[in-house]
Structure 1
Amino acid sequence: MEKSMKIATLLGSAAAGLLIASSAAAQDPVVRTSAGPVRGTDEDGVHVFKGVRYGADTAPVRFQPARAPEPWRETVDAKAYGNTCPQITSGEVSLFASWVNDTPQSEDCLFLNVWTRGLNDGKKRPVMVWFHGGGYVTGSGSSHGYDGVRLAKRGDVVLVTVNHRLNAFGYLNVAGLTDDPRYAKSGNVGSLDMVQSLQWVRDNIVKFGGDPGNVTIFGESGGGAKVSTMMAFPPAKGLFHKVIAQSGSMSLKGFSPAIGTAIAADIMRVAGLQRGEVDKLAAMPFEQLVKVEAKSKSRGAFFRPVTDSTVMPRDPFDPDAPPMSKDVPLLVGTNQTETRLNIGVGDPSTFTMTWEDLPERLGKTLPGTDVAALIAQQRKLHPGDNAGDIFFRVNTWRNYRKTAITQAERKAAQGGAPVYMYQLQWKTPVDGGKWQTPHALDIAFVFDNVAKSRSMVGEGGDQQHMADLMSDAWIAFARTGSPQTKALPTWPTYDAARRATMIFDSKPRVENDPEAKDRALFADLPAGREG
C-alpha cells in the first residue's frame, strides 16, 4: 500500500509538472508571421523571438539571391538564436569575452531576432534594425552585446537583429566568370539578404507592435558600412527611414566589377577549378569553401558590395551622397582611439612602441608618405603623447574618423535631411586603461547592456551613465530623426562650416570641429582598408 501511494504521489507530481509546463507553454507569446506562426518567450516585460526565419536555406542557391521560406502551419519555437552564416572563425579577443555566443555555422542562416513590449496592440513603436559588425566577412546578430531586452524596454521600441550571408557566400563576384544569369547578382547577394530582412520587417512588424513607416537601420563597424551601403542600394529604397552609422563609414565606395572578379578568379584557382566552373564552386561543401577562402589572396577578409550595373549602380558615398536617400536623416560618428583594438589585439607590441620603432611602423601603413614630417607635426600638436599614442591616432584617423567626416560632409552638402555627428571619448578602465576608447566600445552603451559587457567596459565607474546618455539619444533619433535628449546639451546638425560634434564622455559636450588641426593634417592621408 505504502509503495503504491509513493508511486501515485510521484505520478501526481509528474502530472502536475506537465500541467505547469503546458500552462507555461500556453502563455508563451505567439505571433503569426507571413510564413507561419512562431512562439517566443517573455523576459523582464519584453517579448523575445529568436531565430525567426526570413529566408530559405541558401545552400541550394549559393551565389544567388535567396528564396522566401517555405510556409509552415504548425507553431514553430522561436526561443533560440539561428545558425551563424559560414565564416572563418576569428581568434579570441579578451574585450569581447562577455559577448561571445557561439552558434553552429550553416548556409541555412537567414534568421532574425525580435524584441518588443507589445504584440498586435495597435501601437506604432519605432523599429530599430541592427546589422552586425565584422566587416562583410564575420559576425552574427546573436552576440550577447546585441541582446535587445533593455533597449526595447527602455525606449518602447521594437528591435530586430539580423543574420545574412558573408564573405564569399554573400559577396563573391562570380558574375564576371560566367554568363549564367543565375549568378548575375552574386557580388551583392549578402546585401540582398539584408533587403529581404527589411521586407520581412515591412510585412510583419505591425504584429510585433512596430511601425513599418518608421524604421531605423543601424550598425557598428561593418554594420555601419552596411547601413551606409543600403542608402545607395535601390532594392532597399523605401524600406528604412533613418540611418545610424557607428564607426563604419568605410564603404564610401564598393568594389569595382574588375576587383570583384579578380578576387573570385583567385578563389577559383585555389579551389583547383577552371575559370568557368562556377557550378562546381557552388556545389562545394561550405566547410571546404571556407578553407579555400582562407588560403586565397583575400584571406577570406577582403569583400564588400560590388558596384555593378545589375543591383548597385553607383558607389554609396562617392563622389557624393546618394540621391536615393536624400530625405533620410543620418547619425554618424566614431570612437576616439578605434585602432587600439583593431591593431593592438593582433600586435601587443604597439602598446610599447618606441620612437625609434615608429617611423618604420608608420611607413608600412603609409607607403609614400613623409612619415618623419608627420611624426614631427604630431609631436608638436600632442607633446604629451608617446610613440604608440601617435601610431594609434594616425591609424584611427585614416581608417575611421576621416571617412566619417567625409560621409557627413557629403550628406550635409546634399540637403534634404539632417546629419548629426558624434565622437565617443569615454575611456574604459579594462586592463589598466590601455585600450582607452577602442573600436566597438559604443555597443555596450547604445544597447544599454553594461552588465553584459564587463569585459569591454569594466566596473566601478560611470558606465551606466554613459549607457543612459547614448541609448536615449539613439532611441530619440529612431523616434523623431533627432538625437536630442534632455540630458544632452543642444546638439546642432552637422555642416562643413561649423562641424558641430557631440562628444560623449562623462560630461557630454558639443565641440565645433574637434581635433581641427589633426583633421587638416590628415586631409591627404590615404584611407585605410575597411575593417
Structure 2
Amino acid sequence: MKYCLSDLAHISVNLRHWSATLLMVLILPSMAMASTQAVTASGVVEGDDLEGVIRFLGIPYAQPPLGRMRWKAAQDAEPWAGVREAKAFGDACSQIGGFFASDDDSTFDERFGSEDCLYLNVWTPVADEHTRLQSPRPVLVFIHGGSGITGAASLPVYDGERLARELNAVVVTFNYRLGIFSMLRTVILDGRDPATKRGSLGLKDQVKALDWVRTNIDAFGGDPNEVTLMGHSAGSIFVWALMRSPLASGYFQRAVTLSGVPYDRKTMSIRKLRRKLYQDEKDDETTISDEEFDEALNQQSEEVRDNYVSDLTDEQVLSKTKTVAKLDSEALEDEDAVFVNAVPTLIGTVGNETSLIRIFDYSRLSTMEFWLLVNSLRNDLETTDFVRKYRQKAFFRKTEKLNQKEEVLMASLADELVQLGMPVYRYQFIWQNYPEPWSTLLGAYHAIDVPVLFGNFDIDRPNITRFTWTEDNAEEREVLHRELVTGLKGFIEAGDPNLYVESAGEPVWPQWDSRALFKTF
C-alpha cells in the first residue's frame, strides 16, 4: 500500500529499494498513519503540521559522503526502521562561513557545516476533501545559490511554507556538496570512476536529489511527472548544466533560472588546486615547480593518493583550499553541449546583478564590518569609508559592463532554447524602493528578488537583505510577491505564467523571441 499523508492507498514497489518497501508492506497495514507521516522508499518520516502545510525537514536523500565515500557520487540512502522524525534541518555542507552561507555571524570566516549534509526538505499542502479529488500537485524543486562554495537550504529566505501554500504545490529544497568537496573529481579522479567521469560531485548530488523526488514525491502528494527545477545564482548555473546533462534526463519538465549563467573559473587552475590539497603544510615554502610536484605525486600509487585525501578532516581540506574558486563550469558539463533536456524555461534577472557581488572590490570593509553596517538600519551612512569608496565612477562603469555581458549570455541561452522549440519567458526585477544610500549604491541587487518570490522578508533578525525591507515598502513588496507567485503558479502547472493573470490585451508575460521582451517588476 502507499500512504500519502492522511490518505491510505497503495505502496508502489521500487526495485532499487525492494527490501525497505517489503518491510513497509509487512508492518504498515495494521498501522493508522498520522496526517503528518509519509512513507519513503527508505522508511517512514514524520513532519510538522503548520496549519494547512505539512513540513518535513532533514530527510536523507543519499548516504553521508564520509570516508572513502568523500570523493564518490552519492549513493541511495540507507533504509531505517520505525518512524524517523523529520522536524529539523540537516547540517549545511562543509564550507567557510560568511553572510551568503549563514545568518549567524559567529560562523563568519570559520569552518562551517558538515560533510554529512545530503538532506532535503519538503513542504506540502494538507490534502482535504476537495484536493483529494484532483490530480497530484505539481512539484517545485529549488537549488540554493552561493557561488558553489557556500549556502544552505536551511537559510530562512528559502523556507518553502508560503510558496507551497500559495502555489498549491509541493516544494522541495536540499543541500549539495560545495567547493572542493564538490569539484575535486576534476582534480584527482581523472575519470577513473565512471560515476564521476563527467560533472562535479555537487552536480551528482543534485541528480540524486531529483532521483529521490521521482521515486518518493507521490507519497507527499506530488506528481513526479510535473517537476519544475528552479535555482538561484550558482543554483541557476546548475540548472543550466542539468539541462545539458544526460544524467538528468526525464527528471524535470520545466525550469526556472534566477540570476545565473554558466561561466569559467579563472582564479585558480586545477593544477594549483591539486597541489594545495596534496602538499604537506611543512612543504608550503618549497620552490619545487608545479611540473616537478606533479611528477613526484604521480609516482605514488592511486591507493596512496586516494587514502591521503580521504583521511584528511574536512577542516584540513578547507584550510588547504580556502582560496578555492567559485563554481567552475568545467566541473559541470561542456559549455558547447546541446540542451538534451530542453524544457519550457522561465528566466529571471535583476537590474544590477553585480553591485552586491562586487561589494568588496571597492571597499576596505571586512566581512564583519559590512555585516554590521547592513544590519544597523541607520540612514547616516554617507560618512562611512564604504560609501565614499563605493561611489567611485569606476565601480559603476565596471558593474554596468558586467551587467551587459551577462545580459548577452542570457539572451543567447534564451535564443538557443527558442530555436529548439521551447517556450521561454523572462522577467527583469528592477524594483529598488528601499532606503538610501543603499538604493542608489546597489540598485536592484543580486538576490533581491529571492525574498520577494518566496515571500520571506526577514526583518526580525540580522541577514544580508535586512536593510531592504521597511514598514514603508511592506504593501508594495507584497504586491510584487503576488505578481511573481501568480506567474510562477501558471508556469509550474502549464508552462505559461499568464495562466492566472487577468489581462484583456497583450500577455502580461510576453514570450521571448529575441526582441528583448520582459515582464518587469
Q: TM-score, normalised by structure 1?
A: 0.73
The alpha carbon displacement at 1:232 in A equals 0.7
2:179 is aligned to 167
Where does 1:197-216 land on structure 2 (aligned, <5 Å)?
197-216=209-228
SS at match of 2:200: helix
Q: Deviations over 1:215-254 (max 9, x none)?
A: 0011111111111111011111000011111101134x69
SS at match of 1:421: strand
Q: 1:260–1:474: structure 2 CA closer, same or farther, 3 Å change rule? A: farther
Q: 1:39–1:455: structure 2 CA closer, same or farther, 3 Å change rule? A: farther
Distance, in Å, in 2 between the alignment partners of 1:215 and 1:254 is 30
Distance, in Å, in 1 between the alignment partners of 2:484 and 2:104 is 22
Q: Deviations over 1:274-318 (max 9, x none)?
A: 634232012200111011111xxxx1233425368xxx4x32xx3
Distance, in Å, in 1 between the alignment partners of 2:471 and 2:360 is 21
1:445 aligns with 2:473: no
Q: Deviations over 1:28-83 (max 9, x none)?
A: 60111110111100113100001011011101311111121110111111001001
Distance, in Å, in 2 between the alignment partners of 1:306 and 1:278 is 22
SS at match of 2:324: coil
Where does 1:82-481 land on structure 2 (aligned, <5 Å)?
82-91=90-99, 105-118=113-126, 121=132, 123-174=135-186, 180-181=192-193, 184-185=196-197, 188-251=200-263, 260=270, 263-269=273-279, 275-276=297-298, 277-294=305-322, 299-306=323-330, 312=333, 314-315=334-335, 318=336, 322-326=338-342, 328-344=343-359, 347-348=362-363, 351-352=387-388, 358=393, 361=394, 388-398=395-405, 400-412=406-418, 414-432=419-437, 433=439, 434-450=441-457, 454-461=466-473, 462-481=476-495
**What amino acid maps onto 1:264 in structure 2?**
R
Q: 1:144–1:91: structure 2 CA closer, same or farther, 3 Å change rule? A: closer
SS at match of 1:204: helix
**What amino acid maps onto 1:408 in structure 2?**
A
1:54 aligns with 2:54: no
SS at match of 1:342: coil
Distance, in Å, in 2 between the alignment partners of 1:153 and 1:196 is 26
Q: 1:431–1:112: structure 2 CA closer, same or farther, 3 Å change rule? A: farther
Distance, in Å, in 2 between the alignment partners of 1:149 and 1:302 is 30
Distance, in Å, in 2 between the alignment partners of 1:476 and 1:97 is 36
Deviates more, 1:115-124 or 1:219-228: 115-124
Where does 1:499-510 land on structure 2 (aligned, <5 Å)?
499-504=516-521
The Cα RMSD (Å) is 3.3
**What amino acid maps onto 1:263 in structure 2?**
L
SS at match of 1:334: strand
The alpha carbon displacement at 1:130 in A equals 0.3
SS at match of 1:406: helix
Distance, in Å, in 2 between the alignment partners of 1:269 and 1:262 is 10
**Do the aligned partners of 1:165 and 1:189 also contact (CA within 8 Å) in 2?**
yes
**What amino acid maps onto 2:167 in structure 1?**
G
Q: 1:104–1:80: structure 2 CA closer, same or farther, 3 Å change rule? A: farther
Deviates more, 1:214-223 or 1:170-179: 170-179
The share of aligned pairs that are identical, in percent, is 29
**What amino acid maps onto 1:482 in structure 2?**
D
**What amino acid maps onto 2:416 in structure 1?**
R
Where does 1:2-41 land on structure 2 (aligned, <5 Å)?
29-41=36-48
Q: How many residues align?
A: 430
Extract unaligned runs of 5+ from structure 1. 1-25, 362-387, 505-531
SS at match of 1:47: strand
Distance, in Å, in 1 between the alignment partners of 2:243 and 2:189 is 28
The alpha carbon displacement at 1:406 in A equals 2.1
The alpha carbon displacement at 1:104 in A equals 6.3
Distance, in Å, in 1 between the alignment partners of 2:187 and 2:355 is 38
SS at match of 2:217: helix
**Do the aligned partners of 2:122 and 2:170 also contact (CA within 8 Å) in 1?**
yes
Q: 1:250–1:117: structure 2 CA closer, same or farther, 3 Å change rule? A: same
SS at match of 2:442: coil
**Do the aligned partners of 1:129 and 1:160 also contact (CA within 8 Å) in 2?**
yes
Distance, in Å, in 2 between the alignment partners of 1:226 and 1:115 is 22
Q: 1:281–1:182: structure 2 CA closer, same or farther, 3 Å change rule? A: farther
Q: Deviations over 1:398-450 (max 9, x none)?
A: 3x3232222112222x2321111211110041454232211000101111223
Q: 1:456–1:194: structure 2 CA closer, same or farther, 3 Å change rule? A: farther
The alpha carbon displacement at 1:390 in A equals 3.5
Q: Deviations over 1:194-235 (max 9, x none)?
A: 000001000111111111101001111111111111101111
**Do the aligned partners of 1:175 and 1:187 also contact (CA within 8 Å) in 2?**
no
**Do the aligned partners of 1:64 and 1:182 also contact (CA within 8 Å) in 2?**
no
Distance, in Å, in 1 between the alignment partners of 2:502 and 2:114 is 44
**What amino acid maps onto 2:489 in structure 1?**
I
Distance, in Å, in 1 between the alignment partners of 2:224 and 2:175 is 20
**What amino acid maps onto 2:309 in structure 1?**
L
Q: 1:335–1:84: structure 2 CA closer, same or farther, 3 Å change rule? A: same
Extract unaligned runs of 5+ from structure 2. 1-32, 284-292, 299-304, 364-384, 460-464
The alpha carbon displacement at 1:137 in A equals 1.1
Distance, in Å, in 2 between the alignment partners of 1:500 and 1:76 is 48
**Do the aligned partners of 2:97 and 2:111 also contact (CA within 8 Å) in 1?**
no
Q: 1:201–1:261: structure 2 CA closer, same or farther, 3 Å change rule? A: farther
**What amino acid maps onto 2:273 in structure 1?**
I
Q: 1:117–1:152: structure 2 CA closer, same or farther, 3 Å change rule? A: same
Q: Deviations over 1:95-154 (max 9, x none)?
A: x789x9999611111100000103695741110000000021111111100111111111
